[in-house]
Amino acid sequence: MKSGEGSAPRILKGIPVSSGVVIGKAHVVETSQLKIVYQYLLDEKHVEMEVERFMDALHTTGEQLKKLKDSMPEPIKSHGFIIDTHLMILQDSMLREGTVEKIRKEQINAEWALKKSLREIRRLFEEIDDPYIRGRIDDVEDVADRIMRNLAGQEAPPLGDITQRVIVVAHKLSPADTSEMDVTKVMGFITDMGGRTSHTAIMAQALKIPAVVGLETATQFVEDGDLLIVDGTAGEVVINPDDSDIIRFQERQVLYQEKESLIAKSSQAPAITKDGYRITVRANIEFLEEVGTVKEYGGEGIGLYRTEFLYLKSRGLPSEEELFLDYKEAVEQVAPDPVAIRTLDLGGEKLTSVPGSLNEANPALGLRGIRLCLKERDMFRTQLRAILRASAFGKVRIIFPMISGVQELMDAKAFLKSIMGELDEEGLGYDPYLEVGIMIEVPSAVTMAEVLAEHVDFFSIGTNDLIQYALAIDRVNEHVAYMYQPFHPAILRMIRTVVEAGDQCGGRVSLCGEMASDPLCTGLLLGLGITELSINARTIPVIKELIRSISIEEARKDLHEVMKLPTARQVREYLLERMNPIIEKLGINESFLNTTQVPMG
């Protein structure tokens, strides 16, 4: 324990990002020594030399990253694209040209100019709504840190040189730092900074080393050589544990290992109910890099690929080639299972660089999803061409979002057909039989489901939006969050209507809103007749296991009772009573149960 730091806590709580428990000695690495950056003004005659110094640092950074990528250990080789992202950031014009311009115009040193550019980029990211994409600023900062280090002629923390089995303790670790770790030596790591969706977290999972991030004060209280327990499942770190702590955590270790092996054994098996009904469980993803996790957790393909990321990431619009390569990679990795690619579902408020984006008073009711795409045909064409071309490499499905009626669907389908014609003329391959489905997330689409079913191959019920539109509750407005009620009897009736419409036309109905990931809802959805769920990849083993403990016959009986209940609260209480014994028996962790809370107030 460090002296002079005040009374140090014994247990630190952080964000669990890679599961498992390890006990070992701390190895503190200094990664934060570059926090202080000085400004100095340059003589005019030194300005170009400074630009050259900056360009040299960029070059060295690029070379280091390429070398790191080439020497990545086997378990994370498939995550090389994370380093590619860093190489792309290195080419970013705000970072590159923006910094050079500042050096020249303001005659300041490269470090200070880079710091200013970073501040501007950070401001742009802060305006982004999506928390995952907002979190990508971490990657930009990692790259900037590395450039800074090279400007200062400093070595990166020597994580590759660790010779003993240790737990790495750092203020911050970049994915590149993590990729350098020798997994035979690094038992786990903890950091002050970082979040659940950081690329460093993804690396830790791929390497299968327990990790806790976002501890804030780990480097303040942990000293080199301290004994540490890291519980990467619960997000806990114990500094210099006593005997009883060690026994307690060893017990946890055994428990986690038992659960992991159970999950590993059963996650790839199909989800068949006690009375023999096969339920398909696919995954929702937002980024290509999640595909590995989907397969590892037993996802039967991708039920919803949200495609907004590539549009939010680039400042201009992504090119057809960029989109095509991304979709093709996903399709090839997931084959022979399907990938359902949802066409762009951006709201006007999200991205000003998308043509047609407006500053709307009610963006959720404005020019979003299919409406925006049908207005901005060039942009839509680019995406559809990319999706169609990717369909030549595996099983692709298209989902149109926000369909509110038959005309909109017909317009979208006609446009798709015209693009197939374009590809035919150009001799470009695609799957002419690819299935076309729609999101059912607007109440009018529920009412019209019977008619819509005649024109599509499948429905995908998006309860996240359906709840918002049906109950008139803005899904991101905390003032009315207490009324966002997935168990509202109106929502259950709507799902039933859609399933019945799908059944009549032989079309499949899947459900891909957050409700599908909530163990409390599994029986309810099976009772309603849903045969396909698309969920968060990490919950796949749990939901599959739950399905195996449910019989459709019982689920239907429960549904019969549930449909008599007039309020969301009563529905939830009923489900808690029915599902809790099963959930407890399977040992399903609390953290899985928070997706579909209905406030009890």
Active site residues: 199, 512
Give the residue, chosen from 513, 519, 523, 541, that forms a contact with ligand PEP under the rule CB under 6 A. 513
Per CB under 5 A, does 462 bind Mg ion? yes
* Region of 319-327, 457-465, 486-494, 517-525 interacting with ligand PEP (CB under 6 A): 457-465
Task: Please identify, using beta-carbon distances, which residue of 99 and 468 lies nearer to ligand PEP.
Answer: 468
Query: Interface mask (CB under 6 A) for ligand PEP, residues 286-325, using x and -?
Result: ------------------x-x-------------------
The reply on whether position 518 binds ligand PEP by CB under 6 A is no
List the single partner that 544 binds among ligand PEP, Mg ion, none, CB under 5 to 8 Å by kind.
Answer: none
CB of 346 to Mg ion, least distance (A): 11
The H-or-E segment that residue 260 falls in is helix 243-266
CB of 345 to ligand PEP, least distance (A): 6
- Asked if 407 and 369 count as a contact pair (C-beta separation under 8 A), the reply is no
Residue 514, interface with Mg ion (CB under 5 A)? no
CA dihedral sign of residues 242, 244, 247, 251: negative
462 binds ligand PEP (CB under 6 A): yes
Judged by beta carbon distances under 5 to 8 A according to partner kind, the member of Mg ion, ligand PEP, none in contact with residue 470 is none
Choose the stretch contacting ligand PEP; rule: CB under 6 A; options: 73-81, 249-257, 463-471, 591-599: 463-471
Closest contact distance (angstroms) between CB of 48 and Mg ion is 52
Residues 561-580 that bind ligand PEP (CB under 6 A): none
Where are the strands (E) in 346-492, listed by range?
Answer: 396-400, 435-440, 458-461
Q: Which is nearer to ligand PEP, 20 or 462 (CB)?
A: 462
Helix (H) / strand (E) element for 220: namely helix 218-221
Q: What totals of helices (H) and strands (E) does the chain contain, helices first? A: 24, 17
Please check whether residue 474 is in contact with residue 463, taking contact to mean a CB–CB distance below 8 angstroms.
Answer: no
Closer to ligand PEP by CB, 90 or 524: give it. Answer: 524
Residue nearest to ligand PEP (CB): 462
Alpha-carbon distance values, 380 to 367, 398, 416 (Å): 14, 13, 9
369: partner contacted, choices ligand PEP, Mg ion, none (Cβ within 5-8 A by kind): none
Least distance between Mg ion and beta carbon 137 (Å): 25
How far apart (Å, rounded) are the C-alpha atoms in residues 163 and 174? Answer: 20
305 C-beta neighbours (distance < 10 Å), count = 29
Q: Would you say 504 and 450 are in contact if contact means Cβ atoms under 8 Å apart?
A: yes
Residue placing its CB nearer to ligand PEP in the complex, 515 or 571:
515
- Report whether 2 contacts 211 (CB < 8 A): no
Q: Two tokens at 516? A: 């599908």
Return the number of the residue (462 or 541) whose C-beta is nearest Mg ion. Answer: 462
Sign of CA dihedral 413, 418, 421, 425: negative
Q: How far apart are the first and last CA of the chain?
A: 45
Cβ proximity to Mg ion, 42 vs 511, nearer residue = 511
**Counting contacts by CB under 6 A, is residue 512 touching ligand PEP?**
yes
Residue 435 has phi, psi (to 5 degrees) of -80, 145
* Binding partner of 463, given Mg ion, ligand PEP, none, CB within 5-8 angstroms per partner class: ligand PEP
Buried b (16+ CB within 10 A) or exposed e, 549-562: bbebebbeebbeeb
Q: Which residue stretches of 71-163 are H helix?
A: 80-90, 96-106, 110-126, 131-135, 137-151
Touching ligand PEP, residues 464-483 (CB under 6 A)? 464-465
Three-state SS for 595? coil
596 sits near ligand PEP (criterion: CB under 6 A): no
Phi, psi at 3, each rounded to 5° = -85, 160
Give min distance, CB of 305 to Mg ion, in A. Answer: 13
Q: At closest approach, how far in Å is the CB of 316 from Mg ion?
A: 25
Which of 142, 465, 514, 545: binder of Mg ion (CB under 5 A)? 465
Q: Is 228:249 a contact under the CB 8 Å cutoff?
A: no
Is 348 one of the binding residues for ligand PEP (CB under 6 A)? no
Stretch that binds ligand PEP, among 4-12, 115-123, 458-466, 581-589 (CB under 6 A): 458-466
Residues 347, 404: contact at Cβ < 8 Å? Answer: no
> By CB under 6 A, which span of 127-135, 177-185, 258-266, 459-467 interacts with ligand PEP?
459-467
**Which of ligand PEP, Mg ion, none sits in contact with 177, Cβ below 5 to 8 A by type?**
none
- Contact of 90 with 62, CB cutoff 8 Å: yes
CA gap 198, 392 in Å, rounded? 32
User: Of the listed pieces 78-86, 175-183, 377-385, 462-470, which binds ligand PEP according to CB under 6 A?
Assistant: 462-470
Tell whether the torsion through CA atoms of 393, 459, 356 and 465 is positive or negative. negative
Task: Tell me if residue 490 falls in helix, strand or coil.
Answer: helix
Answer whether 348's CB lies under 8 Å from 358's CB: yes
Binding positions for Mg ion, 386-445, rule CB under 5 A: 441
Q: How far is the CB of 584 from ligand PEP (least distance, A)?
A: 28
306 binds, among Mg ion, ligand PEP, none (CB under 5 to 8 A by kind): ligand PEP
Q: Footprint of ligand PEP on this chain (CB under 6 A)? A: 304, 306, 345, 441, 462-465, 512-513
Interface residue list for Mg ion (CB under 5 A):
441, 462, 465
